[in-house]
Structure 1
Amino acid sequence: MNDELRERVEQEVEKHALINAVKHDSDADVGAIMGPLMGENPEFREHGDEIPGIAGGVIAEINGLSADERRERLAEVAPDELDELESEDEEDEQVLPDLPTADEFDEVRMRVAPNPNGPWHMGHARMPAVIGTYKELYDGWFCVRFDDTDPETKRPDLDAYEEILDAIEYLGFEPDAVYRASDRVETYYEHARELIEQGGAYTCSCSGEEFSELKNNGNPCPHRDKDVGTVREEFADMVAGEYESGEMVLRVKTDIEHKNPALRDFVAFRMIDTPHPREEASEYRCWPMLDFQSGIDDHLLGITHIIRGIDLQDSAKRQRFVYDYFDWEYPEVVHWGHVQIDAYDVPMSTSSIKELIDEGDLDGWGDPRAPTIASVRRRGIRGEAITDAMVELGTSTSNVDLAMSSIYSNNRDLIGDESDRAFFVRDGVEVPLTGSGPEEATPPIHPDHEDRGTREIPVGQAVLIEPEDRPNHEERVWLKGLGCVKYTRDTFQFTGDDIDAVREEGVDVIHWVPAEESVPIRMRTMDGDVTGRAEPGFEEYDADDVVQFERIGFVRVDEVDPADETDAVVYYAHP
């Protein structure tokens, strides 16, 4: 390497090392800059063995500078690059609106309150993504409280408790505490008894139809004026399980003439004969309704801010009646609209997904066609990619649409640099090879990271290509990583052309695998399973590795050595 080229290498290394250090606010790293350095300066590649040694000395000097000195030096050598980094920093600033009255509290305290009636679909991800981000913004506190006091209509799934906590961790957050409402039933009874003593609740044996007619007409229930002693005794009988389902409820006294009938004397407790699936709660028969249970817990847990769907505005209004009886201050509420996610034919509903699984239309919560956290995770999509997309939606009261393409874009940024490349051919067409060509192809493991080496792919006597890549008679194509061939009499004949055939003559580049030693693969996608063959060596990957099939997209390795010796299995993530 002559002195002039060495000086250019040092200048480019300094620029890329400064960008790396400033962007990540850390020391620069030789391995991290080699890809972009070589990508921008292809003429350096023939000196690839010498450059790491030169880079090491330059990087050592940069790592000896302070953060301010690095930024000042970058402003001298590459001001446009610094401007771009600063513009990215501005884009990374807070996306969410400020929480109302947050500065009035010593600590912002929030809750994620799932019903554990099944694993989470994609819409559920929005709540922990936003609440977890607010916790970080305000150095606050958040808990997960499982609102599992409906053992019949929304019957808890015992596996869902841990699956939901696992999903929250996958999205990038760890709750400060975890509660199960079914462990706190006695607490709700205590507050019900106190409410009864205040004259704020009464037991009612009207049928649902009878009370609905009274309520809608603004007429009081005949049981509304029972004396406190009678209500106390009848509620004790409810707690003791003396009534059957539907025979008796406890109602909160509100305003029987309220303009919104949904707020008139709502039910706080009802009888349910179906035992709770959790053994610890299986003896209870008198269960609180969600509005009562959640309202009590929000106060006792010191919740300062609630985020909930705009369709739950009535819940806040019902709970305020209870808070008024106890002289409590209601938390700040942020209402938001529903999120709709494209790209799925399956409804984003826990019950609908469960029904499709039971009927055999989906093969589980991790089926790539299912709009579930388990599915996207199995496809190799990082939780951070979902969280960032959800946070960018903000907290508008309008319904919002989320394109999966935005999640894919986020994920591509996260995995693109670290994912190895490989060839995979779907429904391959076999084409014999003739002429003088290499016995082995050596495409790079990653085109931007030459230091990671090459793949060694034996060529053999024939290759498999995708049907749509078959050229016309006498047409040339470039077999990626191998060379130029002409399609003649149903064979590929090596032509000896160099890469200028692609750069200057527009010869198409296609991928391929050797016909004899390739690896059978089943690729699971949102549109169904696809079979094909991957290049030799693919079987060396481990489950959970993410690889980019060139010209196809990213996949997560699911099963590379199946027990039944069938095809290896990968899950398609996105282009």
Structure 2
Amino acid sequence: MLTNDEIKLLIKKYALQNAVKYKKTPQAGAVMGKVMANPELRSRAKEITGLVNEVLVEIEQMNHEAREEELKSLAPELIEELKEKKEPDKGLPPLEMNGPLVMRFAPNPNGPPTLGSARGIVVNSEYTRKYHGKLIIRFDDTDPATKRPMLEAYDWYLDDCRWLGAVPDEVVIASDRIPLYYEVAKELIRKDGAYVCFCEQEVFKALKDEKEACPHREQGVEKNLEFWREMLSGCRREQEAVLRIKTDIAHKDPAIRDWVAFRIIKTPHPRPEVDEKYCAWPLLDFEGAVEDHLLGTTLIIRGKDLADSEKRQRYVYEYMGWTYPKTMHWGRVQIHEFGKLSTSGIKKAIAEGIYTGWDDPRLPTIRAIRRRGIQPEALRKFMIDLGLGETDISLSLDTLYAENRKLVDPVANRYFFVWDPVEMNIEGAEPKIAKAPLHPSRGGMREIPVGTTVLVCRNDVDTLKAGERLRLKDLCNIQITGISPLTAKFIGTDMDLVKKEKARIIHWAPPDGLKVKVLSPDGEYTGIGERGIEREVDKVVQFERFGFVRIDSVSGDEVVAYFTHK
């Protein structure tokens, strides 16, 4: 395991390389993305975030020449890499079109869409929009047992597609089309391209690994048709029989050898229209292969880890005389804030009460991202800018936040929110109406009634010293007279204290303000916010010195907000 000193040196190399390349102090997220590409470090994200911040403070004090000299000393190979490496093009590459473009995004609705789903939704919709093509959303819901669909998830996907500006031209649900797959399977059997196998899984694997054929492989078309009818009728038990596609039993890749197209599952499907109607269910490679043909798909974009799917599916296409769609692949994207969260893992954690629901701000679901106040335009641009490279990448959400900040900063009203509040009595102050700008550049003022007592953040209090002079933002100047209890005296209202003495400015809130709870990926913040926040439901505002939040709900004098980003 790398020591902290070794990690810090690694961070420094990457941070210096970034600083030399762009001639400015790097963003923490850019450095984190480089560091977290090391699999050994992915479980230590919180610890590494602190180390990154330490290093960036150090680099900020250096000029460009000093940074370059330091990088030459620590990692001369990274200097050379800068000379050789061209900045990759952002955005989606152009397509070579031969006829109409038909694309599909095909999720399994066993949970709501995630940030990974957003990439598929956005890229497919962007291409079909650009080339006047057709976008199909196809629900691959033919596994009622292992990856059991959630009834709510069908609508969640379509709602999130609309939110992302990716309204489909057609919606297809695979579990509605099972008879179509049965017809193709029957035709494959007739063409001697598929057979019913009764081998136990371990037995078939042993034969496959030795490149030996299953004893049922050459039992003949009529026998296979008879056994296939038995699979469909329900008289065969689960795991007793499967339908296999005949491939090359000596293929160099064992995953291609006589793969399973159908299996028997007697678990009812959650959709009432389907329920117990079928007991022979297609596996994804078969169902997807047939649907791509039936729907006229002309371009498939999938992860490079799914390249084997194409190799398997091409056997079906060759038997049936179909033309396989053009395919493109992209590498995995690892977002270090979320680690390795799977849909099944999230579902289990929600059931155990670890997460409050699918829109918990700690989760990488689009529902959670939306509730936090991320704008669809920001998420679209973030996904498009990732491009279609096959290289696996690890990155931070800082880039998404930067895009979102451009959208919300010009329109988000400003308010005071004091978390972990401490009461401060101000001697000599008189009750008044404080006036503060709703936005620094758009004009408009908010009025805050305040008396001789205000609330300030405990983390500000922890840094105060008796005798210190400072300014309460948009209110007055004070001098601290006591720490416990916290007291101060009024010393004026002009800004000379800040300009000449460079006094600190801290924010505050009136004691009779609103109770505010902010839910964030890092935990929960509770405190008091000024009145006026209650009028901002479903809008993103900026809590000064805290960050942007989306006001989620108001009940009486209590406000719940979701943290967006700094």
> TM-score normalised to the size of structure 1?
0.80
- The equivalences for 1:84-95 within 5 A come to 95=91
2:389 partner SS:
coil
Instruction: Give the equivalent residue in structure 2 for 1:351.
Output: 344
Question: Would you say the 8 A contact 2:90–2:385 is kept in 1?
Answer: no
Give the corresponding residue for 1:17.
none
Name the residue aligned to 1:521: 516
2:475/2:493 contact within 8 Å kept: no
Which of these residues, 482, 488, 491, is aligned with residue 492 of structure 1?
Answer: 488
Residues 522 and 497 (structure 1), Cα distance of their counterparts in 2 relative to 1, 3 Å cut: closer
Please show how residues 539-550 of structure 1 align to structure 2 within 5 Å. 539-542=534-537, 544-550=538-544
C-alpha deviations, 1:336-369, integer Å up to 9, x for none?
1111112236x32101111111111111111112
Matched positions, count: 473
- Equivalent residue, structure 2, for 1:538: 533
Letter of the structure 1 residue corresponding to residue 346 of structure 2: I
Cα distance change of structure 1 residues 537 and 103 upon mapping to structure 2, 3 Å threshold: closer
- Structure 2 counterpart of 1:264, from 246, 257, 261: 257
Contact 2:418 2:527 in 1 (8 A): yes
Aligned to 2:199: 206
Deviation at 1:436, TM superposition (A): 5.1
Shift of 1:540: 3.0
The aligned residue for residue 146 of structure 1 is 139
2:377 paired residue among 374, 384, 388: 384
More deviation in 311-320 or 368-377?
368-377
**Residue identity opposite 1:255 in structure 2:** D
* 1:180 alignment partner AA: I
Q: Secondary structure at the match of 1:555?
A: strand
Matched, 1:555 2:554: no
1:483 equivalenced with 2:476 (yes/no): yes
The residue aligned with 1:462 is 453
What are the residue-to-residue correspondences of 1:134-533 with 2, within 5 Å? 134-282=127-275, 283-344=277-338, 347-435=340-428, 439-450=432-443, 453-470=444-461, 471-489=464-482, 490-515=486-511, 517-533=512-528
Which residue does the alignment assign to 2:25? none
Which consecutive unaligned segments of at least 5 residues does structure 1 have? 1-90
Structure 2 CA distance for aligned equivalents of residues 227 and 541 of structure 1: 71
TM-score by length of 2: 0.81
Residue pair 2:429, 2:451 contacting (<8 A) in 1 also: no
Q: Partner letter of residue 514 of structure 2?
A: V
Paired with 1:360 and 1:501, the residues of 2 have a C-alpha distance of 50
Aligned-residue offset at 1:118:
1.0
User: What SS is found at the alignment partner of 1:407?
Assistant: helix
Contact kept? 2:431, 2:451, Cα under 8 Å: no
Q: Which amino acid is the alignment partner of residue 556 of structure 1?
A: R
C-alpha RMSD of matched pairs (Å): 1.7
Q: Secondary structure at the match of 1:145?
A: strand
SS of 1:131's equivalent?
helix
How far did 1:95 drift? Answer: 1.4
Give secondary structure in 1 for the equivalent of 2:344.
helix
CA deviation digits over 1:374-405, x for unaligned, max 9?
Answer: 11111111122222112111111121123111
What displacement does 1:438 show? 6.6
Q: Work out the CA distance in 1 between the residues paired with 2:531 and 2:488.
A: 20
What is residue 82 of structure 1 aligned with on the other side?
none
Structure 1, residues 496-551: CA drift from partner, whole Å, max 9, x if none?
Answer: 25223223321111110112x21111111111111100012323332x12110001
CA contact (8 A) 1:337 1:398 kept: yes
CA distance in 1, matches of 2:356, 2:327: 39
Contact 2:90/2:386, CA 8 A, preserved across alignment: no
Distance 2:347 2:509 in 1: 40
Counterpart CA distance in 2 for 1:132 and 1:401 is: 24
Quote the Cα distance in structure 1 between the aligned partners of 2:90 and 2:458: 48
**Following the alignment from structure 1 to structure 2, what is the Cα–Cα distance between the partners of residues 175 and 165?**
8
The answer to whether the 8 A contact 1:250-1:268 is kept is yes
Q: Deviations over 1:90-126 (max 9, x none)?
A: x9x9711123xx3212x11110000011112222211
After superposition, give the CA deviation of every residue in 1:186-211 in whole Å (9 maximum; x if it has no partner): 00011111111111111111111111
Q: Which amino acid aligns with 1:320?
A: R
Aligned counterparts of 1:129 and 1:348: Cα–Cα separation in 2: 21
Structure 1 residue 127: deviation in Å? 0.7
From the CA coordinates, give the structure whose radius of gyration is larger.
1
Q: Distance in 2 between matches of 1:377 and 1:276?
A: 30
8 A contact 1:438–1:482 mirrored in 2: no
Percent identity of paired positions between Structure 1 and Structure 2: 47
Distance 1:436 1:274 in 2: 72
What is the CA distance between 1:492 and its match in structure 2? Answer: 2.8
Which digits, 9 at most, give the CA deviation of each residue in 1:430-477, with x for residues without a partner? 111222557111001111111xx1111011120111123233222211
SS in 2 for 1:159: helix
User: Residue type matched to 2:204 in 1?
Assistant: F
Letter in 1 for 2:219: K
Secondary structure of residue in 2 paired with 1:259:
coil
Cα distance between partner residues in 1 of 2:437 and 2:431? 16
